[in-house]
Amino acid sequence: MNMSAKRTSIEERHLSALDDQLAQLWETILSRSSLVRCIQGGDFDARLFAIYMMETYHYTRHNARNQALVGVRHLDLNIRYMKFCFEHAAEESGHELMALHDAISLGLPKDVTVPEPMSETDVLIAYLYWISANGNPLQRLGYSYWAENVYAYVMPLLRTLQSKLKLKDSQLSFFISHARIDEDHAEEVRRMLLQHCKNPEDWTAVAKVMKTSLLLTEQFLNGIYEEFERVRSGQASAYSFLSDHLSA
Amino acid sequence: MNMSAKRTSIEERHLSALDDQLAQLWETILSRSSLVRCIQGGDFDARLFAIYMMETYHYTRHNARNQALVGVRHLDLNIRYMKFCFEHAAEESGHELMALHDAISLGLPKDVTVPEPMSETDVLIAYLYWISANGNPLQRLGYSYWAENVYAYVMPLLRTLQSKLKLKDSQLSFFISHARIDEDHAEEVRRMLLQHCKNPEDWTAVAKVMKTSLLLTEQFLNGIYEEFERVRSGQASAYSFLSDHLSA
Amino acid sequence: MNMSAKRTSIEERHLSALDDQLAQLWETILSRSSLVRCIQGGDFDARLFAIYMMETYHYTRHNARNQALVGVRHLDLNIRYMKFCFEHAAEESGHELMALHDAISLGLPKDVTVPEPMSETDVLIAYLYWISANGNPLQRLGYSYWAENVYAYVMPLLRTLQSKLKLKDSQLSFFISHARIDEDHAEEVRRMLLQHCKNPEDWTAVAKVMKTSLLLTEQFLNGIYEEFERVRSGQASAYSFLSDHLSA
Amino acid sequence: MNMSAKRTSIEERHLSALDDQLAQLWETILSRSSLVRCIQGGDFDARLFAIYMMETYHYTRHNARNQALVGVRHLDLNIRYMKFCFEHAAEESGHELMALHDAISLGLPKDVTVPEPMSETDVLIAYLYWISANGNPLQRLGYSYWAENVYAYVMPLLRTLQSKLKLKDSQLSFFISHARIDEDHAEEVRRMLLQHCKNPEDWTAVAKVMKTSLLLTEQFLNGIYEEFERVRSGQASAYSFLSDHLSA
């Protein structure tokens, strides 16, 4: 076995450890998520999806930005990785508009004011900027790694949601177009990890960010569910206005 | 004349005012530059070009980064302009390696240590980050506008330099490949200005950055010339080591 | 009643709403915290305190910095508030060394390497930078507000911990000296809020950051407890080394 | 001679080399400055001082901020130096208001709109942020070193200006109060340099920033003179409005 084959195989093993950890994390998250149970039980309405898309709008506005920040703040990056950061940022630019479009398509006014982000959304945004600007420059790949592979895990739920809310594919543009784009991205992220992670510290940093950002996303999902519960039970919520536009 | 034609024509007029200002600036700069006189007079050697390429290496390392920073730091950018910032950054990534390659090709050791940047280079770098992160988000286009159109003004000088130093085209890779790439960029920058500058304040901000960054580049060129004079007259310089490798 | 008295009274009401919200939050947190139960039950040892102090070391290293960042990133701050940000930062500088001292005092080598921060610590740090650099410039006061008043809530627990671990006051330097310093700080933060919060949006931003940062601290405390459980049950942990130095 | 005396003496020598370089720089600058000649010749009026104070307002607004940035962006600073950065920032906060006050005192409307900064002012601001956030954390002391000692060099000029314009001391509040404050600061900066510069690289970085920031200030002074010339000769200038308020 030559050196290069051996190296590849070590790195493939790291990647497959990431995959295992990811599968386990998703299992935990899906099994304990009240949002998932709520969707599976069918006990929800368009307001849930509107909240989801509006909060998605918020963090998605920052994704291209924090992705590019990796290239901005770290000097001496490998050039191919640097290029990846900026190209990836270019491709992600404006995706928040799809999320907003999907929310509005439910029956909201075109010039609707999106409420301030929930705390959980702020925290996710804050964390992604932090790990992009500081620490191991490769670690943001840990976020991309699960985010670009999310559809395997969430598509069944989205289809349940789509069918219950009678949504056309064009009303799920954020997810459906991402699912398409992200097939390529996922492959590229994989390649970046295999090419640029050189030592166990790199893989540890990537794994830590993968896990932390996914757990923050779990809290984001919980937050959405709680916000929806507040809206439907008539408690104070920045999303109460949805009830004026969307039938329960 | 319809509204849109009229708007275009106002913007074309702004652009053509930029062109006039630029032509005048270059005339001033070229006429008073000791570096230009030195090149035209033929009284220089490879050390001048080595200093030039090493200082170019320094600021070029930051160009993709400060270009991307425009997209990172301004929320609510027009999405097409945001995409342009990140795509442009991706295309500029790693260009510093061409500058380094050209310097080394003169006969320097492959692992040469590039001296710390001159003060003039630091100032140019600092300014480009500042105007990218703050103020009018369009203003960095003022830098791109002259930088992508630089070859009309400097190619004759480069050819003089090339012929005197007997350089192959491959030893001018930084300039020659840029000249090619930048034809497209220049056109794109033009389009960005026409599409996104909406009011006189935008054009004023762009013109100010164009002028200031070009004048800082003039000082950068002066700095290179003075450094070369120090090296060839045997005064203390971080570039003295060049004399061990490059014949005068 | 004159205008100024009336204004004060509105602002005093906002402040007292903050106090109520804070008391409720603490009640919730203290009642559901496994760390609190663990301390109250006496079922812990010095390793718990060492982990606590080391993670405290991590976020405390950033507190002066993110406090100062408020003044750095917002132009047009009220000058007295700006001064407060920098003075407060100066006073907080180096407090992480007290946390480290207290950890080492338990019996660790003087040159001990502090493990990388837990995810929960990273998230808290990230959030505090984010809300300091962006959004309402007053909002970081929401963090200071509870942090400077923390001792009323946690002193009983600390005394239990101190007595069980037989710690001298000098081994609780981080908490005890803070408790002293923070009396003044708490008063100043109070004054800043009363003087500078001008409208309901300011108070909302402050309350949001107060709540979010306290809930992130709850997760930080949970993280410490889980880390301690891993260490004492012999599971993999970056803190396993503590068992070599500290008797259970 | 003991070790500590010896170390001090090496550092004292570095400091005294700084002093020599500074004296020489000032000599060069004062001898070639058209602003200096203009003041010495008495051929100016209040508009010159107004421009000076308004541009001073601009960069002074950023001085406390970039000073604090040193402490924010560099982890692992010596704690006493970190404290100095924040304390110094606190003391500098709001000094721009003195500059504005002095300008208005000449006879301008209290709510005068300060024009956008000149390019030279932008460049100075940009540079100070850059060297504060990046590179050697001690290097900003090179700026403080000359700025806190500026009065020895410029007081005679200021007195000439004061006498010609018949200004009360209270109309020179920016300079006079600084002169007082800065005696202590200068001593502190001196102490910081002696205590924290540990190797030749530190001193080189400090000297480079001292020189570069002073030369940028020279260009700032030239810019003010040129702006004044434009105003008094009736050419286009953002400061033309001064002629409506201030007698020539």
pLDDT digits (tens, 9 = 90+) for C52-110: 999 999 999 999 999 999 999 999 999 999 999 999 999 999 999 999 999 999 999 99
For position B148, what pLDDT does the model report?
A: 87
Shortest Cα distance, chain A CAs vs residue C11, angstroms: 22
- Closest alpha carbon to B97 in B63, B143, B122, B126: B63
Grade residue A77 by pLDDT with cuts at 50, 70 and 90: very high
* pLDDT value at B64 more than 90: yes
Cβ of B94 and A86 within 8 Å? no
Q: Give percent of chain C with pLDDT exceeding 90.
A: 86
Shortest Cα distance, chain B CAs vs residue A17, angstroms: 31
Nearest by CB to residue A89, choosing from B61, B75, B86, is B86
For residue C215, the chain A residues in CB contact (below 8 A) are 119
Q: Give percent of chain A with pLDDT exceeding 90.
A: 86
Nearest by CB to residue A216, choosing from C123, C130, C215, is C123
For position B178, what pLDDT does the model report?
A: 80
Mean pLDDT across the stretch B17-32? 95
Site of tokens 């040159």: C111
Mean pLDDT across the stretch B69-92? 97
Q: So what's the ipTM on this one?
A: 0.95
Mean pLDDT across the stretch A75-92? 97
Shortest Cα distance, chain B CAs vs residue A125, angstroms: 13
Mean pLDDT across the stretch D73-87? 97
For residue B87, the chain A residues in CB contact (below 8 A) are 86-87, 90
For position A2, what pLDDT does the model report?
A: 57
Greater pLDDT, C229 or D182: C229
Mean pLDDT across the stretch D7-12? 81
- Closest alpha carbon to A191 in A91, A89, A84, A87: A84
Q: Chains contacting D with at least 3 CB pairs below 8 Å?
A: B, C
Grade residue C2 by pLDDT with cuts at 50, 70 and 90: low
**Torsion angle of the four alpha carbons A77, A79, A84, A89, in this order, in degrees rounded to the nearest 10:** 70
* Average pLDDT value for chain A: 94
pTM score: 0.96
* Structure tokens given for C16: 């007292």
For position B6, what pLDDT does the model report?
A: 62
The CA-based angle D202-D206-D208, given to 5 degrees, is 115
For residue C131, the chain A residues in CB contact (below 8 A) are 122, 126
Digit-coded pLDDT (tens) for A149-158: 888 888 899 9
Grade residue A182 by pLDDT with cuts at 50, 70 and 90: confident
Shortest Cα distance, chain A CAs vs residue B43, angstroms: 36
Grade residue B1 by pLDDT with cuts at 50, 70 and 90: very low
Count of A-B CB contacts under 8 Å: 61
Chain A residue with CA closest to C210: the answer is A119
- Closest alpha carbon to C192 in C73, C84, C89, C112: C84
Cβ of C64 and D71 within 8 Å? yes
Q: Determine how many CB atoms are found less than 10 A away from the CB of residue C231.
A: 24
Chain A residue with CA closest to C216: the answer is A123
* pLDDT value at A111 more than 70: yes
* pLDDT value at D149 more than 90: no
Cβ of A65 and B83 within 8 Å? no
* pLDDT value at B201 more than 80: yes
Cβ of A86 and B97 within 8 Å? no
The CA-based angle A198-A199-A203, given to 5 degrees, is 95
Grade residue A8 by pLDDT with cuts at 50, 70 and 90: low
Q: Which DSSP helix (H) or strand (E) runs through A73? A: helix A46-73
Distances (CA, A) of B159 to A165, B36, B151, B226, B228: 68, 12, 11, 22, 19
* pLDDT value at B134 more than 80: yes
CA dihedral sign, ordered D14, D17, D22, D28: negative
Question: Quick check: B107 contacting D, CB < 8 Å?
Answer: no
Cβ of B93 and A82 within 8 Å? yes
Task: Return the residue in A128, A130, A201 with the most chain C beta carbons within 10 A, the one to mutate for interface testing.
Answer: A130
- Closest alpha carbon to A83 in B92, B71, B144, B141: B92
Mean pLDDT across the stretch A61-81? 97
Cβ of A64 and B87 within 8 Å? no
Residues B65/B80, Cβ–Cβ less than 8 Å: no
Distance of CA C221 to the CA centre of its chain: 11
For position D182, what pLDDT does the model report?
A: 74
Cβ of B97 and A90 within 8 Å? no
Count of C-D CB contacts under 8 Å: 61
Mean pLDDT across the stretch B23-29? 95
* pLDDT value at C16 more than 50: yes
Digit-coded pLDDT (tens) for D42-69: 999 999 999 999 999 999 999 999 999 9
- Closest alpha carbon to C222 in C55, C7, C84: C55
* pLDDT value at B16 more than 50: yes
For position C77, what pLDDT does the model report?
A: 96
Cβ of B215 and D131 within 8 Å? no
Q: Which of residues 192-221 of B touch D (CB under 8 A)?
A: 208, 211-212, 215-216
Digit-coded pLDDT (tens) for B163-188: 999 999 999 999 988 877 777 888 99
Give the Cα separation of D172 and D160 in Å (integer): 12
Check residue D242 and report its DSSP letter: G
* pLDDT value at A16 more than 80: yes
Greater pLDDT, D128 or D181: D128
Could you tell me where the DSSP H helices lie in chain D? Answer: 3-32, 34-41, 46-73, 79-92, 95-104, 119-133, 140-147, 151-165, 173-196, 200-232
Q: Give percent of chain D with pLDDT exceeding 90.
A: 86
Shortest Cα distance, chain B CAs vs residue D92, angstroms: 21
> Would you put residue A33 in left (φ > 0), alpha (ψ -120 to 50) or beta?
beta
Extended beta strands in chain C, E state: none
Amino acid at A175: F
Nearest by CB to residue C93, choosing from D65, D79, D97, is D79
For residue B127, the chain D residues in CB contact (below 8 A) are 122-123, 126-127
Mean pLDDT across the stretch D66-83? 97
Nearest by CB to residue B86, choosing from A79, A90, A97, is A90
Nearest by CB to residue A119, choosing from C119, C126, C208, is C208
Q: Chains contacting A with at least 3 CB pairs below 8 Å?
A: B, C
Chain A residue with CA closest to B72: the answer is A65
Q: Chains contacting C with at least 3 CB pairs below 8 Å?
A: A, D
Question: Quick check: B142 contacting A, CB < 8 Å?
Answer: no
For position A128, what pLDDT does the model report?
A: 98
Grade residue A5 by pLDDT with cuts at 50, 70 and 90: low
* pLDDT value at A1 more than 70: no
For position A152, what pLDDT does the model report?
A: 82
Chain D residue with CA closest to C95: the answer is D79
* Average pLDDT value for chain D: 94
Give the Cα separation of B209 and B197 in Å (integer): 14
Grade residue A180 by pLDDT with cuts at 50, 70 and 90: confident
